């Protein structure tokens, strides 16, 4: 096994297998009736947050820049894909055609904004970049919350003040109703599609990281001056990474919006950006598999704890702190690695002892 699979390839294949195994396990649970309604309701959010966290890890872990604008890009993806789906609901009846196109539109619009915002913003580094991306995320959310779009026979009407201001004909239809958001999005998101999207996202991310571009991006992360000295175009590679992160976040947003019949922009506030960043940090910065696991565990946990409502946030925060200590403290990590190796050694010893008999 070791000879024909490089460590990087092995790492990505283990992740794919884990995700596929989890999918099969869930499918069995659902079909045998062992899944609660609460759990079934969480399946799509699992995929949404996993995709969002894995893609943010590209910017935070691979590029090494702190971005707090993830919710903003998800917002763009959610809105643009939802508008597309509502408009084409009657013409394209098959969700199998409509939804992938909607997701692509969501991803591409988010990527366009990602690159546009990235051009000025990526000149900044560290805390400053975090602050500016946070601001852009909030701006995007607030613009959508103030946006009224409707269409009738005479075309598209846009207003930033009120619904009445649109001057819509009586036969007109509202697309975005300001702070009330979008309603009537077809519920196209299913766990199966979410799983497929997650798997494709992981393949894209791992292939990206293990290619010339990924290597260049990690070089820039490790030492910008040296990366320049070997002729790497810093701005270009930063923009590509930022754009890809936004693209995948947009797709996560599309998955999100097609899971809800009504969607308000206020869902995409900075709390969501921070939440996704928490997934990334706890899963391990630069560790894509960790992001997915952290996203699933930390999405599930608050819902499980709902039954002990009073202590819910207490336990959630304790788990967060424990996870932080476990993942960041080299000594504790070393202890577990050492005991794991010991256990492995024991098993091998037992095996060889048995064979010796």
Partner 1 sequence: MALLEVKKLGISFGGLRAVDDFSMTIEKGQLYGLIGPNGAGKTTIFNLLTGVYKPTDGTIHLDGKNITGKSTTEINKAGIARTFQNIRLFSNLSVLDNVKAGLSNRYSYSTATGVFRLPKFFKYEKQMTERAMELLRPFDLQDDADTLASNLPYGKQRKLEIARALATEPKLLLLDEPAAGMNPKETAGLMNTILTVRDDFGVTVLLIEHDMYLVSGICEKLSVLNFGQLLREGPTGEVLADPEVIKAYLGE
Task: Give the residue with the Cβ less far from partner 1, 34 or 207.
Answer: 207
Using rule CB under 8 A, residue 216 touches partner 1: yes
- The alpha carbon of residue 337 and the mean position of all alpha carbons in its chain are separated, in whole angstroms, by 29
Using rule CB under 8 A, residue 1 touches partner 1: no
| Beta strand spans in 54-166 (E) | 148-152, 155-159
Whether the CB-CB separation of 188 and 98 falls below 8 Å is answered with yes
Given 161, 223, 317, 329, the residue binding partner 1 (CB under 8 A):
223
Using rule CB under 8 A, residue 337 touches partner 1: no
Could you tell me which of 253, 241, 202 has the C-alpha nearest to residue 72?
253
Q: Measured between alpha carbons, how far is 136 from 145 in angstroms, rounded to an integer?
A: 14
Give least dist CB 113 to partner 1, A: 19
Give least dist CB 23 to partner 1, A: 22
Using rule CB under 8 A, residue 225 touches partner 1: yes
Q: Measured between alpha carbons, how far is 217 from 45 in angstroms, rounded to an integer?
A: 30
Q: Measured between alpha carbons, how far is 342 from 64 in angstroms, rounded to an integer?
A: 34
Using rule CB under 8 A, residue 207 touches partner 1: yes
Using rule CB under 8 A, residue 214 touches partner 1: yes
Task: Give the residue with the Cβ less far from partner 1, 230 or 353.
Answer: 230
Task: Give the residue with the Cβ less far from partner 1, 125 or 215.
Answer: 215
Q: Measured between alpha carbons, how far is 16 from 191 in angstroms, rounded to an integer?
A: 16
Task: Give the residue with the Cβ less far from partner 1, 208 or 316.
Answer: 208
Task: Give the residue with the Cβ less far from partner 1, 53 or 202.
Answer: 202
Using rule CB under 8 A, residue 233 touches partner 1: yes
Could you tell me which of 169, 141, 172, 87 has the C-alpha nearest to residue 272?
141
Could you tell me which of 77, 38, 40 has the C-alpha nearest to residue 185?
77
Query: Which residues contribute to the site for partner 1 (CB under 8 A)?
Result: 7, 204, 207-208, 210-216, 218-219, 221-223, 225-234, 240, 244
């Amino acid at each position: 096994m070791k000879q024909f699979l490089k460590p990087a390839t092995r790492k990505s294949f283990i992740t794919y297998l884990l995700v596929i195994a989890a999918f099969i396990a869930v499918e069995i649970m659902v079909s045998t009736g062992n899944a609660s309604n609460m759990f079934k309701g969480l399946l799509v959010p699992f995929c949404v947050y996993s995709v969002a966290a894995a893609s943010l890890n590209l910017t935070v872990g691979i590029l090494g820049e702190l971005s707090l604008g993830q919710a903003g890009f998800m917002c763009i993806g959610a809105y643009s894909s939802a508008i597309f789906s509502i408009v084409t609901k009657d013409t394209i009846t098959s969700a199998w055609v409509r939804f992938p196109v909607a997701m692509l539109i969501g991803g591409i619009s988010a990527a366009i904004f990602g690159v546009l915002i990235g051009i000025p913003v990526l000149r900044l580094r560290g805390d400053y970049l975090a602050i500016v991306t946070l601001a852009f995320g909030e701006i995007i959310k607030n613009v959508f919350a103030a946006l009224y779009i409707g269409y009738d026979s005479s075309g598209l009407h846009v207003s930033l003040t009120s619904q009445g201001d649109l001057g819509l004909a009586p036969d007109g239809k509202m697309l975005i109703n300001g702070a009330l958001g979008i309603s009537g999005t077809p519920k196209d998101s299913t766990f199966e599609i979410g799983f497929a999207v997650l798997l494709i996202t992981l393949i894209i991310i791992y292939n990206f990281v293990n290619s010339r571009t990924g290597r260049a991006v990690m070089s820039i992360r490790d030492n910008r001056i040296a990366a320049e000295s070997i002729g790497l175009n810093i701005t270009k590679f930063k923009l590509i990474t930022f754009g890809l992160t936004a693209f995948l976040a947009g797709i996560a947003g599309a998955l999100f919006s097609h899971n809800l019949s009504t969607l308000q922009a206020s869902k995409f506030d900075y709390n969501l950006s921070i939440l996704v960043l928490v997934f990334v940090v706890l899963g391990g910065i630069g560790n894509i598999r960790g992001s997915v696991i952290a996203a699933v565990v930390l999405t599930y946990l608050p819902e499980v704890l709902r039954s002990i409502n009073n202590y819910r946030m207490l336990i959630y925060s304790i788990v967060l702190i424990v996870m932080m200590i476990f993942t960041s403290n080299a000594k504790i990590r070393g202890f577990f690695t050492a005991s794991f190796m010991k256990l492995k050694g024991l098993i091998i010893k037992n095996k060889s002892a048995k064979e010796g008999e």
